[in-house]
Amino acid sequence: MTDYQPGLEGVPATKSNISFLDGKQGILTYRGYRIVDLAENSTYEETAYLLLDGELPAVAQLARFDTQLREHRRVKYNIRDIMKSLPVTGHPMEMLQTAVASLGMFYPNNVPVQIRSPGDESEQYVHGQSIRILARMATLVAMWQQMRIGNDPVRPRNDLSYAANFLYMFFNAEPDPLVARIMDTCFILHAEHTINASTFAAMVTGSTLAMPSYVISAAIGTLAGPLHGGANERVITMLEEIGKPENAKVWLENKLAAKETIWGMGHREYKVKDPRATLLQKLMRELADSQGTVSPLFETALALEEACEESLAPKGIYPNVDFYSGILYREIGIPPDQFTSIFAIARTAGWLAHWREQVSANRIFRPTQVYTGYDPRDYLPAAGR
């Protein structure tokens, strides 16, 4: 194939059995299981196991996996010291990429990364490192939240679930059970989404047989961009700019006339409403009902979606996962600059699953290009130019 496709749109980059989406029907599955069913019935721990190992676990398998995640939540004090030296004004994603990149130095390895046969030492290494990284991602994000406001990190608790422990460390308070379940569901919804930009970055880095700390660090850096994971922060700013639900329609008309981006609207793959956005909207309703009040941001978002229904839906532009996730996190009390870090915690399961798949049948990525430069030409000394 020699035709140039900007952004590699529509160009298959790999074969995978991890996840599937049908953008015309709004279907997303992990290992064949619909995201709706997983969100309503599973846990993040079980979903992570599914993504990493390929099948839903039996009771004993899930218990062992969950125990391993709990046992590996703590990090070396040296990593905490590295974090202490970072400026508190820095973005949490910058901290996260730095901290994750450093993990390999504290957990060195000389086992080849490439898996050649099931159960070999490389597969055992990949499995072990996947558990360690997944367990520590939530710890790092929660540690930073406390450290940047001048507090010591909160020690993880092994008696809490993955999501509940994250919230406990993040806020230094045991979470409300409903909020813990909402966070658990959010983790499930963000855990995987086929070959997106950050997953592709992880695959390319993994294809060089780099250590997993490099692989996940590369993915984190890619996720940080506003056209990928950073869009949910922009949604909050956008809704605050609109101010009130009654302003939504005129605001939208002005932005569209100026050809400006409507954050949280539209997706390259989905031509209908993102199924994750539908589930997040449902969670927001549930939280509002429990609190007995509807957030002004949520009301404004609903009004904006209604306005977009008239002008953008005919073009196949609907809310994506970022449209409601930021509002939900904001209502839980999470600062907007931590939204993408939470996205990264959840997506780590998907990144690691694709890393494992890549190194199980590896070939280094080496795409070609369409050259648009000069034909070969003679060099002229400076005096003759």
Can you name the residues that pair with 249 across neighbouring β-strands? none
Look at residue 29 and give its three-state secondary structure.
strand
DSSP H helical ranges for the chain: 35-41, 44-53, 59-71, 77-84, 92-106, 121-147, 162-171, 177-189, 197-207, 212-223, 231-242, 248-257, 275-291, 296-311, 321-332, 339-360
Instruction: Report how far residue 198's alpha carbon sits from residue 220's, in angstroms, rounded to the nearest whole number.
Output: 7
19: part of which helix (H) or strand (E)? strand 19-22
Instruction: State yes or no: is 267 an active-site residue.
Output: yes
Active-site residue, from 127, 190, 193, 267: 267
Instruction: Report how far residue 141's alpha carbon sits from residue 164's, in angstroms, rounded to the nearest whole number.
Output: 14
Active-site residue, from 66, 184, 274, 322: 322
In Å, how far are 27, 166, 203, 322, 376 from 20, measured between CA atoms?
8, 28, 17, 19, 45
Residues whose CB is less than 8 angstroms from the CB of residue 250 and which lie 6 or more positions away in sequence, other chains included: none
Instruction: Report how far residue 229's alpha carbon sits from residue 198's, in angstroms, rounded to the nearest whole number.
Output: 9
Instruction: Report how far residue 156's alpha carbon sits from residue 137's, in angstroms, rounded to the nearest whole number.
Output: 12
Cβ-contact 19, 30 below 8 angstroms: yes
Instruction: State yes or no: is 322 an active-site residue.
Output: yes
Q: What is the dihedral of CA 334, 340, 342, 346, to 10 degrees?
A: 160
Instruction: Report how far residue 74's alpha carbon sits from residue 163's, in angstroms, rounded to the nearest whole number.
Output: 15
The tokens 């993102």 sit on which residue? 274
Residues whose CB is less than 8 angstroms from the CB of residue 210 and which lie 6 or more positions away in sequence, other chains included: 113
The tokens 């059970």 sit on which residue? 177
Cβ-contact 270, 318 below 8 angstroms: yes
User: Which positions are catalytic?
Assistant: 267, 322
